[in-house]
Structure 1
Amino acid sequence: MTDLNFPIYLLAWPFALTLAWMAGELIYRWIALPRIAVYALCGFVFGNLAAGDLPPSESDSFLLFANLAFGLMLFELGYRINLRWLRANPWIVVTSVVESVVTFVAVDTVATAFGTEPLSAALIAALAMATSPAGLLRVLNEQRSAGQVTERALHLSALNCAFGVFAFKVIVGIGVFQTSGDLAHAAASSLLVLVASSLLGALFGVAVPLWLRHVDNAGRDATLAFAIAVFLLVVVSHVFKLSPVLCALAFGIVARHRRIVLPPAQRNFGALGDLLSVLLFFVVASKLDWDHVTSGLLLGLLLVLVRALAKVLVCTVFARVSGISARKGALTGLALTPVAVFAVLLLEQAPRLGPDVFQSLAPLAAIALLLEVIGPLVTLCAVVFANETRTAREP
C-alpha cells in the first residue's frame, strides 16, 4: 500500500459512519423509518463493497467498540428490569420460559427439516430465542414509549436473552466436546461461564454504587461512572472469555436494586450512547456477507416467520392470565422481533470457544439482515398500535 493511499484508507470507516448517520437522520424525517435500520443497511453495503480493502485489525477494532455499545444497552435493559414486579406477577416469567422453548423447538424443527446440520440448526434456534436489547431499546427510547406492551417487552427481552445465551453456550459446549473430546473445555463453555458471568456482573452492581456513595456524587456522576464500569466489564469479560451479555445484564439489574438513580435524560447514555449506537448497528451489519445472505434467504425468511409466529402465539395465549388483553399480548410478541445484533455479536465468540460454525449458518445471515431492517420497524408498529408512543400519549 502506498503512502498516497494510506490517508484515504484510514478515512474509510469514519466517512462511512458519517454518511450512515446522515442517511439515518434524513430518512427518519422523511418516512419515520427507525434510524438503526438505515445504519444497518449502510453497514451491510459498506461491509460488502470494502471487504477486500479492510484488514481484519481495523474491522476488529470497530467490533470491540460495537461490543462496548451493546454492553451499554444491555446494562440499561438490566437497569429497567423490576424484579419485584416479576415476583408479584410470575406469569411473565412463565410466558418467557414457554415462549423461548416454543421458539427454539419451532425454529430447530423447521431448519432441520430443510437440511440444516443438527448443530447449526440448534445454534440458529438458540439465537432465535432471544430478542436483541439493542434494537428494542433504541426504538422504545426514540419513541419515548411507556405502557404495558413496552414494559413487558423489556422484561421478556431480558429473560429470553439469558435463556438464549444459556442455550447457545450449552450447544457450543456440546459441539466442542464432539469435536475434541475435551469434557472440561465443553463444561467451561457452558454452565461455568454463565455462573461466572452473572457473578462478575453482580459484583460490579454492588461495587459501583458503593463507590458512588463514597464519593458522594451518586446523582451527578452516576451516568459517567456506569458507562466507564460497563466498558471495563465488557473488556474483562472478553479477556476471560465470559459472556458480556450476562455480565452487563446482571450489572444493570443489581445496580438498579442498589437504589442508584440513572437520570431519565441520560437514557441511551446521552450523546456517547447515540454515537456508539450508530457504530454498533453499522459494524454488525458490515459483518454479514452477501453470499451467505443470498444463499440462505428463502430458509431465513421462513425461519423469521416461524420465530415471529411462535412469540406472538405464546404471548397471546398467556396474556389474560398475566393481566393484559390478548391484543396487547400479541403486540408484545411482535415487539420482540429484533434479534440481529444479539445473534451476530454472540456468534462472533463461537470460533473462540470451539468449532468454526459461522460458515455453515447462511440462513442466520439472512435472518440477521432481514431483522436488522424489519425488526425495529415491527417493534415501532407494535408500540404505535398499542398507543404507547410519545405522540399517542400527548393530548
Structure 2
Amino acid sequence: MQSILSIASDLSWPFAIALAWVAGEFGHRWTGLPRISFYGAVGFLLAQTQVGVLPHVGNGPMLVLADVAFGLILFELGYRINLRWLSNNPWIAVAGLVEAIGTFAVVYCIAIEFAVVPGTALLLAALSMSTSPATVMRVINEERSSGQVSERVMHMSALNCVLAVFIFNVIVAYRTFHSSGDLLDAGMSSFTMLLASAGAGAVFGVVVPAMLRRLGNMAQDATVAFALAVILLVAITYTTRLSPLLATLVFGLVARHRRVAFSQAQRNFGALGELLTVLLFVFVAATLAWPQVVAGAGLALAMIAGRFVTKIIGVGAFSHVSGISWRKGVLTGVALTPVSVSVVLLLEHARHRGVSFADELSALAAFILILELLGPVIIQRALIWAKETHNEQEH
C-alpha cells in the first residue's frame, strides 16, 4: 500500500502537467481562449486543498523549475525591451510610473477601508503594482501580436514588475529587521540585494553573447546557450539569495543590446519553453486553497476593480503626449490587468528567506485566482480590439 501511494505521489506532477496541456489545447481549440487560463484551472482543481492530486507546494524542485520557467519568460521580455525607444519617447516610462504608483495608492486605501492592518495593506499594494510578464509574453506570442499596444504592455509590465519587486523586498527587509525598527537599513538591504541581482544578470548579458560571438553561427546556437545560461543564473541566485526575477530580466535586456539575435522559430524557447510554461501556471494555481479564496473574495474584487480603473486612467491620461490615440491608451491599460505568477513566486521566495505572509494569503488567494483565470482572457481581448493579433479570424 505504501509503495502504491509513493508511486502515485511521484506521478502526480507529470500527470497534472500532461492533463493541463491537454485541457489547454482542447480548450483553446473549442473556445479560442488563451491556453494558460486552462493550465491555471487544472492546477487549482488538482491542488492539495481541492481534489488532492498534487502534493503540498513548498520550497523544493518544483519551485526551482517554476523559477527557471519564469526566468526564460523574463529573459525574453528583457530581450524585447528597447531602451532607445524609451529614451526617444519618455512619456511611455512616465505613464508606467504613474499607473504603478497610482495602483499602489489606490489598493492601499481600499485595503485600509476593509480594515486591513497597515503592514498588510502595504504588502497588498506593492504586489498589486505588478503586471505578470509571464501572462503578457505568453498571450502576445500565442496571438502573434505586434503593434503599439503590444510593445507598450511589454515595456510597462517590465517596469512595474521591477518596481513591485523593489517595494516588496523593502517590506520583506523591514519585517526581517523589525526588531531594530530601522527602515533605512531595511531599504538599503533591499536595494543592495536588487543591485547585486541586476549586476549578476548584466554579467551574464555580456559574457554569453561574447562567447557566442567567439563560437560563431550565433543564430543557430543562441537559443540553447541562453536557456542554459538562464538555468545557471537562477541556480546562482538561489545559492546567493538574490532575486532570480530581476537577474533574468536584466540578462535579457543586456543581451539584446549586445546585438545577438534569436532565430525567429525560437520564441518562448521552443518546446522547452512550452513545457515549462505549462508547469509554471499549474504550479502557481496549485499554491491556492479554496477556503482562502472564499475568505478574501470581497477584498479581492475591490482590489481588482480599483487596480483595473487606475491602470486605465494612468496609461490613458498620457496617450496623446506619448503618440497614440485615447482608444489605444485605454486598451494598453486594460492589457496590464494580468497578475499572478510574479506575486506567487515573490511570496514563495520570501518564505524561502524565512519571512511568512500567512495573514495576507486569504486576501491574495482570490485576487490571484481570479486574475490567473481571467487575466489572460482580458489581455487577449485588448489585443484583438486593438487589431494587433494575427489570429483574428480564429476569434
TM-score interval for Structure 1 and Structure 2 normalised by the shorter chain:
over 0.9
Whole-Å separation in 1 of the counterparts to 2:70 and 2:46: 21
The farther-off stretch of 343-352 and 269-278 is 343-352
Q: What is the deviation of 1:51?
A: 4.8
Alignment correspondent of 2:244: 244
Structure 1 contact 120–361 (Cα < 8 Å) conserved: no
Alignment correspondent of 1:49: 50
Whole-Å separation in 1 of the counterparts to 2:52 and 2:20: 17
Structure 1 contact 153–332 (Cα < 8 Å) conserved: yes
Code of the residue aligned with 1:269 in structure 2: it is F
Q: Cα distance 1:103–1:9, how it changes in 2: closer, same or farther (>3 A)?
A: same
Describe how 1:1-395 pairs up with structure 2 within 5 A.
2-47=2-47, 48-49=49-50, 51=52, 54=55, 60-179=60-179, 186-187=186-187, 189-353=189-353, 355-392=355-392
Structure 1 contact 316–333 (Cα < 8 Å) conserved: yes
Q: Cα distance 1:15–1:261, how it changes in 2: closer, same or farther (>3 A)?
A: same
Q: What is the deviation of 1:359?
A: 3.3
3-state DSSP of counterpart to 2:94: helix
Whole-Å separation in 2 of the counterparts to 1:50 and 1:149: 39
Q: What is the deviation of 1:4?
A: 3.2
Q: What is the deviation of 1:9?
A: 2.5
Q: What is the deviation of 1:5?
A: 2.9
Code of the residue aligned with 2:17 in structure 1: it is L
TM-score (norm 1): 0.95
Q: Cα distance 1:368–1:53, how it changes in 2: closer, same or farther (>3 A)?
A: closer
Runs of 5+ in structure 1 lacking a partner?
none
Code of the residue aligned with 1:266 in structure 2: it is Q
Q: What is the deviation of 1:186?
A: 3.0
TM-score (norm 2): 0.95
Code of the residue aligned with 1:54 in structure 2: it is P
The farther-off stretch of 325-334 and 287-296 is 287-296
Code of the residue aligned with 1:43 in structure 2: it is G
Deviations 1:180-213 (A, max 9, x none): 6577973564110111111110110000001101
Q: What is the deviation of 1:351?
A: 2.6
Structure 2 contact 70–280 (Cα < 8 Å) conserved: yes
Q: Cα distance 1:118–1:347, how it changes in 2: closer, same or farther (>3 A)?
A: same
Q: What is the deviation of 1:374?
A: 0.6
3-state DSSP of counterpart to 2:178: helix
Runs of 5+ in structure 2 lacking a partner?
none
Q: Cα distance 1:179–1:22, how it changes in 2: closer, same or farther (>3 A)?
A: farther
Q: Cα distance 1:392–1:163, how it changes in 2: closer, same or farther (>3 A)?
A: same
Deviations 1:161-183 (A, max 9, x none): 11111111112222222246577
Whole-Å separation in 2 of the counterparts to 1:329 and 1:244: 31
Whole-Å separation in 2 of the counterparts to 1:335 and 1:4: 46
Code of the residue aligned with 2:34 in structure 1: it is P
Q: What is the deviation of 1:287?
A: 0.5
Number of residue-to-residue matches in the alignment: 393
3-state DSSP of counterpart to 1:293: helix
Cα root mean square deviation, aligned: 1.9
3-state DSSP of counterpart to 1:11: helix
Structure 1 contact 145–389 (Cα < 8 Å) conserved: yes
Deviations 1:287-339 (A, max 9, x none): 01212111001110110111111100111101100000010000000111111
Q: What is the deviation of 1:60?
A: 2.7
Q: What is the deviation of 1:360?
A: 2.6
Structure 2 contact 37–376 (Cα < 8 Å) conserved: yes
Structure 1 contact 189–353 (Cα < 8 Å) conserved: no
Structure 1 contact 172–353 (Cα < 8 Å) conserved: no
Code of the residue aligned with 1:241 in structure 2: it is R
Whole-Å separation in 1 of the counterparts to 2:45 and 2:167: 31
The farther-off stretch of 178-187 and 88-97 is 178-187
Code of the residue aligned with 1:289 in structure 2: it is A
Whole-Å separation in 1 of the counterparts to 2:202 and 2:377: 33
Structure 1 contact 139–379 (Cα < 8 Å) conserved: yes
Q: Cα distance 1:133–1:275, how it changes in 2: closer, same or farther (>3 A)?
A: same
3-state DSSP of counterpart to 1:356: coil
Whole-Å separation in 2 of the counterparts to 1:190 and 1:9: 38
Deviations 1:116-162 (A, max 9, x none): 12111111111111111000110010000000000000011111111
Whole-Å separation in 1 of the counterparts to 2:234 and 2:321: 38
Whole-Å separation in 2 of the counterparts to 1:189 and 1:203: 21
Q: Cα distance 1:201–1:383, how it changes in 2: closer, same or farther (>3 A)?
A: same
